[in-house]
């Protein structure tokens, strides 16, 4: 874990960076001191599972053991969505095997023995940057959280299977504001879920951070509670999650970079996965890369 504090004229930025989920796990297992001057009633320990999910202790273990809840259904939905995407020319050679490579979700769901694939790309591979904010407002529902996670992992997996190089950036970017609505303190927690050079995102490993409510409301909240912020407003909601405009500004993103912000801003309502998928595809301006007419047909199945 690396941490640093940046001070500007009006804002203090607390940066915390984890090299991977194991780094995050080790940090939380060390039981870092709680900033009791601000977090007088730490939410990460609260018993209200309907909102926070499973206990902090279990959630920490999920960082290394994996999170299996409803994973089979995710694989099923991923396959249905994948079948609705356009075929494009491959720019890589794919080899399937029993043991070597990365698991391909649709093959796993179908029970195919040689479900591991490895590949090499040529120099024509498209490179995309995807930025995913783990944070979202308190009113976001479980269904919205789940659908955003499934859609994000589906998009990444589909693009990677086409031979594209995906740089996946995951973070919790939140603010507290002064009375003029200027940020007075910023918390930026970054977690590396994909090493540079990895051909594929490890979907099973990333399923917990991207798909569960526990990762924000137990894991990220516990990290926030250890940060030496000063303003006591952090206790009330753990900050305001950054929207797309703020994310693009903070990380100085290019117009072509893809941002996955909170579910409501992405158009995800949580009532129908396929309607939500179409909303996200439209929001990130990728309608020409997916057969949206086929996805529409899934809505009524």
Residue 52 lies in a domain: yes
Residue 130 lies in a domain: yes
At 268, is the secondary structure helix, strand, or coil? coil
Read off the pLDDT of each residue in 139-165 and give the average, rounded to a whole number. Answer: 90
Residue 197 lies in a domain: yes
Q: Cα–Cα distance between 99 and 56 in angstroms, integer?
A: 34
The whole-model pTM stands at 0.85
Residue 112 lies in a domain: no
Q: What is the model's pLDDT at position 198? A: 79
Residue 110 lies in a domain: no
Transcribe 214-257 into DSSP letters.
HIIIIIIHHHHHTS----GGGGTTSSEEP-HHHHHHHHT--TTS
Q: What is the model's pLDDT at position 106? A: 62
Q: What is the model's pLDDT at position 83? A: 74
For all residues of the chain together, what is the average pLDDT? 88
Q: Which domain holds residue 129?
A: 2-87+124-298
Residue 106 lies in a domain: no
Residue 115 lies in a domain: no
Q: What is the model's pLDDT at position 91? A: 47
Q: What is the model's pLDDT at position 89? A: 42
Q: Cα–Cα distance between 139 and 41 in angstroms, integer?
A: 20
- Number of structural domains, the chain? 1
If pLDDT is split at 50, 70 and 90, which confidence band does 77 have? confident
């Amino acid at each position: 874990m690396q941490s640093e504090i940046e001070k500007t004229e009006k804002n203090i930025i607390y940066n915390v960076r984890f090299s991977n989920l194991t780094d995050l796990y080790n940090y939380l297992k060390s039981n870092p001191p709680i900033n009791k001057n601000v977090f007088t009633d730490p939410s990460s320990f609260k018993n209200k599972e309907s909102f926070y999910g499973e206990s902090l202790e279990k959630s920490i273990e999920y960082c290394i053991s994996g999170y299996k809840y409803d994973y089979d259904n995710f694989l099923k939905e991923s396959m249905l969505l994948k079948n609705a995407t356009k075929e494009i020319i491959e720019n890589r050679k794919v080899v399937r095997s029993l043991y070597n490579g990365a698991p391909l979700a649709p093959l796993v769901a179908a029970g195919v023995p040689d479900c591991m694939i490895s590949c090499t790309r040529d120099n024509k591979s498209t490179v995309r940057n995807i930025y995913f904010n783990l944070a979202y407002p308190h009113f976001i529902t479980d269904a919205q959280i789940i659908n955003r996670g499934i859609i994000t992992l589906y998009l990444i997996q589909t693009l990677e299977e086409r031979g594209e190089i995906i740089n996946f950036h995951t973070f919790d970017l939140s603010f507290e504001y002064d009375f003029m609505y200027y940020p007075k303190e910023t918390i930026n927690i970054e977690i590396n879920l994909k090493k540079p050079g990895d051909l594929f995102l490890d979907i099973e490993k990333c399923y917990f951070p991207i798909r569960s409510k526990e990762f924000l409301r137990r894991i990220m909240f516990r990290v926030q509670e250890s940060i030496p912020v000063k303003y006591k407003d952090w206790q009330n909601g753990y900050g305001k999650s950054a929207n797309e405009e703020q994310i693009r500004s903070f990380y100085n993103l290019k117009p072509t970079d893809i941002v996955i912000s909170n579910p409501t801003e992405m158009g995800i309502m949580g009532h129908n996965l396929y309607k939500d998928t179409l909303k996200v595809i439209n929001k990130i301006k990728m309608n020409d890369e997916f057969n949206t007419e086929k996805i529409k047909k899934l809505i009524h199945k």
